Amino acid sequence: MKTITVEQVGPTRWITLNRPDKLNAINYDMVNELRAELNSAAVDDNTKVLVLTANGRAFSSGYDLSELAEDEISGALRWHGILEDDVSLTMQLWSFPKPTIAAVHGWVLAGGCELAMACDMIIATDKAKFGEPEVKYGSGPATLLMPFVIGQKKTNELLFTGDTIDAEEALRIGLINKVVTEETLHDEVRALIKKIAPTPLSTLRLTKIGLIRAQEATGIRQAISANMDVSAILNGSDSPEQKEFDDIVRKEGLKQALAWRDARFEESLGDKGKGKDK
């Protein structure tokens, strides 16, 4: 079964993540299918705007940890190859030559959060939760976009703690553009598209080039490339906690592994951790 669905509605290409039973966890197949669809939409002159959204209870929980654990990946070199594919997808979306909108709900985590941040605009429901919790797994973000989106200090806090934030906080810090209800999410996206689509395609393309070059002048590509190298070393370090997590995934399933992971952090926080987002 395809991991994404695609619909062309007038000038808009709607790409929908379609692994709802897995909270749209990004697996190898989804990476390949998304890359192919982005290539197709980029050269289609009938497409002026691209929307990335998702079916089910969440936008995306991030990369599929079950698939990664089953592969028993070891060593920085192998990790570098996998991360290179992941980063390449995110940056392909980031540099897509036309305006992009992420329409998100539920969990928007890790690699899923990176895909959303790679879009030019994000509209989120009031129930959306954002975060980069990789540190709790002994890992880090593959594509270090966050400091370029929200600034260094808040990024430091979120990446060191692995905390999640709600939609209102995401709006306050500039991570997203608008908070809407679940029922009006796609209507709000369509209203935004109506403001963009009348502009000539050539104008949209050249405006996007200008925006991309402005960000490139800050060193974003060099920073992301350097972070990918560090992440490969980090993931290949095979810490005892990382090994234990993967072992539980293989023997008992991802749900039990996540419960074990979260329990470790709850114990370290004691009473202070009660009621906090994981």
Q: Name the pairing type of β-strands 12-17 and 49-54.
A: parallel
DSSP string of 182-249? Answer: TTTHHHHHHHHHHHHTTS-HHHHHHHHHHHHHHHHTTTHHHHHHHHHHHHHHHHTT--HHHHHHHHHH
Tell me the fold of 4-235.
2-enoyl-CoA Hydratase; Chain A, domain 1 (3.90.226)
Quick: pLDDT tens for 82-136.
889 999 999 999 999 999 999 999 999 999 999 999 999 999 999 999 999 988 8
Three-class secondary structure of residue 262 per DSSP? helix
Domain ranges of the chain: 4-235
Q: Measured between alpha carbons, how far is 44 from 21 in angstroms, rounded to an integer? A: 31
Q: What is the mean pLDDT of the chain?
A: 90
CB count in 10 Å sphere of residue 50: 24
Name the catalytic one among 114, 157, 169, 266.
114
Q: Measured between alpha carbons, how far is 176 from 153 in angstroms, rounded to an integer? A: 17
Q: Which residue has the higher pLDDT, 60 or 252?
A: 60
Active site residue 134: yes
For the cut 70, the answer to whether the pLDDT of residue 56 exceeds it is yes
Question: In angstroms, how far is the first alpha carbon of the chain from the final one?
Answer: 31
- pLDDT-derived band at 191 (thresholds 50, 70, 90) equals very high
User: Do residues 185 and 54 touch, judged by C-beta distance below 8 A?
Assistant: no
Quick: pLDDT tens for 12-42.
999 999 999 999 999 999 999 999 999 999 9
Gyration radius of the chain over CA positions:
18
- Pseudo-torsion of CA 151, 175, 234, 156, nearest 10°? 40
Q: Token pair of 56, please?
A: 């089910």
**Tokens 């293989």 belong to which residue?**
250
Q: What confidence score (pLDDT) does residue 73 get?
A: 64
Q: What confidence score (pLDDT) does residue 103 get?
A: 98
Q: Residues of the chain with pLDDT > 90: what percent?
A: 71
Q: Measured between alpha carbons, how far is 262 from 247 in angstroms, rounded to an integer? A: 16
For the cut 80, the answer to whether the pLDDT of residue 68 exceeds it is no
For the cut 50, the answer to whether the pLDDT of residue 273 exceeds it is no
Residues facing 129 on adjacent strands: 107, 166
Overall average pLDDT of the 193-204 stretch:
97
Q: Which element (helix H / strand E) includes 178?
A: strand 178-180
Name the catalytic one among 134, 216, 252, 267.
134
- pLDDT-derived band at 276 (thresholds 50, 70, 90) equals very low
CB neighbours of 195 closer than 8 A, spacing ≥ 6?
none
Predicted TM-score (pTM) of the model is 0.89
DSSP string of 9-55? Answer: ETTEEEEEE--GGGTT-B-HHHHHHHHHHHHHHHT-TT--EEEEEES
For the cut 60, the answer to whether the pLDDT of residue 138 exceeds it is yes
User: Do residues 178 and 188 touch, judged by C-beta distance below 8 A?
Assistant: yes
Q: What confidence score (pLDDT) does residue 278 get?
A: 35
Q: What confidence score (pLDDT) does residue 269 get?
A: 58
